[in-house]
Amino acid sequence: MIEPEPDPHSDPVLEARALQMQFQGLKAVDGISLALAPGEMLGLIGPNGAGKTTMFNMLAGSLVPTSGQIMLNGQDVTKDRPEQRLGSGLGRTFQIPRPFAEMTVLENVLTGARDQAGESVFHTWFSPRRVAREEHQNVEKARHLLDFLLLSRLEGEPARVLSGGQRKLLELARLLMADPSVLLLDEPAAGVNPSLLEVIMERIQALNAQGKAILLIEHNMDMVSRMCSRVFVMAAGRELAQGAPSDVIRDPRVIQAYLGDAA
């Protein structure tokens, strides 16, 4: 499959304008502006405490920024809740995966499907055929995603038995059920064994090749270099640098931020 080249000149699918998040005396994010082009995979990196996850939480709607604006496909979504942003096509995964531990893997994935008639009390009672038909279609789709993410054999098991890497894959499958066009992936490689890491990378690249724009927080620089066309570096809540991965990792300011005085 040929990867569509992101067009930096087209309107961004996701844009942060001068975002600021202040927790009492601490400015966790201080005036960050970034743009994600259609079909782009952008890496968001920075040392621990740089404000990356706070940035993600604002973009996904879990936190309302102290100031600034968030645009999704040209619409201002700054005050929208996470469930509304998912409806507008933006989904996120978590740094520490949050599976529904006591539900089966298959039902975890099914929960991700949007606009299900069966999620309404009214339709459950008065449109049983529609509910059954949709559920059947969703099961087909969920199984396809489980195949894609190598979790098929575990579909009947409760999610709590999955390993850390499998939980990351499950979270991705659950999110993909909602067909978001923009994915925010928070450290998809953290704590994953090397063989599963290759699978995760390959699957994320495949999703990007399908046209999904991806913003990726990751500490694994090898992974970021291989997957992202552009990298955005944060340190102490501010933008430090952005550009091609090969340029950024040689930037003395970036090296200084990661290694401190030892650099």
Chain residues binding another protein by CB under 8 A are 60, 62, 81-83, 86-87, 91-92, 94, 98-104, 106-107, 110-114, 116-121, 124-125, 131-132, 135-136, 139, 143, 153, 155-156, 158, 160, 174-175, 178
The token pair that represents 200 in the structure block: 């995760």
Burial of residue 236 (CB within 10 Å: 0-12, 13-18, 19+) is: middle
Judged by beta carbon, residue 176 or residue 231, the one nearer another protein is 176
Judged by beta carbon, residue 151 or residue 200, the one nearer another protein is 151
The token pair that represents 11 in the structure block: 């309107």
In degrees and rounded to multiples of 5, residue 238 shows phi and psi of -120, 165
Query: Minimum distance from CB of 40 to another protein (Å)?
Result: 22
Query: Minimum distance from CB of 111 to another protein (Å)?
Result: 5
Judged by beta carbon, residue 125 or residue 246, the one nearer another protein is 125
Query: Minimum distance from CB of 51 to another protein (Å)?
Result: 20
CA distances for 51 relative to 25, 38, 40, 237, 238, angstroms: 15, 24, 22, 5, 8
Query: Minimum distance from CB of 18 to another protein (Å)?
Result: 25
Judged by beta carbon, residue 148 or residue 238, the one nearer another protein is 148
- In which order are the strands placed within the sheet that holds 213-217? 90-92, 182-186, 213-217, 41-45, 230-235, 238-243
To which residue do tokens 């079909």 refer? 39
